[in-house]
Structure 1
């Protein structure tokens, strides 16, 4: 456990989506984990709710979910590989649901959430709002937003 004057942290919670901003959060998380020996929990969250309104059939929805799942596997494997090079303890989780809710449900009060400021696309921000903004304003955990 790392202690600061104000708060001590048990883990780093790292939500990822493959965006440039997310990759910067990965770099910051790896750097801090290396310096502090904190374990990282990397999260990839599939939010089918935003797609269910536009996808017409269950079959199309399942195909899209498979695409997102494959993307998530690739992103999480890359993070694990990068962490292992530096002997950093990383666990990966793929979840389904509202990204901000899943992030806050995973993070404990003494965890540090490190996330990118922007998601993959502007349309996602329009449809679901800013996940980072939502987590920042509603989480009981400490949140670090990386530009």
Structure 2
């Protein structure tokens, strides 16, 4: 039923529950897992800065992105270790981009059968004004999506 499961991970506590759900499903269906972390690059803007400021900002941003990619590798490595303990093959994927777009594009390009990710449960107004990665993925993915909700208590 599910040959390939994509699980999106971040630094949140909810991510632990998301990984557990993905690995449980993978065990049940003898699936392979792709553990993905997306380094969000949407926050880079250059409003009225000098060339020197832009160059300095670019260097700082590059260093920050490298650290964030390393952190993403560590997150996906943890999933790979948990998968190995359970006999579930896990491939690690760290990409840079808009999280929702990157997840849906990757899933479509790689023929993923199920996307598993966390839903933080923000208010309807917050989702409307800011958008929400889980909601965007659920609306735009070409495959099935399992949203793991945070505990409300």
TM-score of Structure 1 vs Structure 2, range by shorter chain:
0.7 to 0.9
Equivalent residue of 1:49, what SS? Answer: coil
From 1, 10, 18, the counterpart of 2:3 = 10
8 Å contact from structure 1 (residues 12, 41) kept in 2: yes
Q: Which runs of 4+ in 1 moved over 2 A?
A: 53-56, 125-129
Q: CA 1:134–1:90 in structure 2 vs 1: closer, same or farther (change >3 Å)?
A: same
User: Does the alignment pair 1:27 with 2:20?
Assistant: yes
The alignment's C-alpha RMSD in Å is 2.4
Q: Over alpha carbons, which structure has the higher Rg?
A: 2
TM-score (norm 2): 0.79
- In structure 2, the partner of 1:41 is 34
**Unmatched runs of 5 consecutive residues or more in structure 1:** 3-8, 120-124
Q: Deviations over 1:42-69 (max 9, x none)?
A: 111112222x138961011012102211
Task: Using the TM superposition, give the Cα deviation of residue 110 of structure 1 relative to its aligned residue in structure 2, in angstroms.
Answer: 5.8
* Equivalences, count: 134
Separation (CA, whole Å) in 1 of partners of 2:9 and 2:45: 23
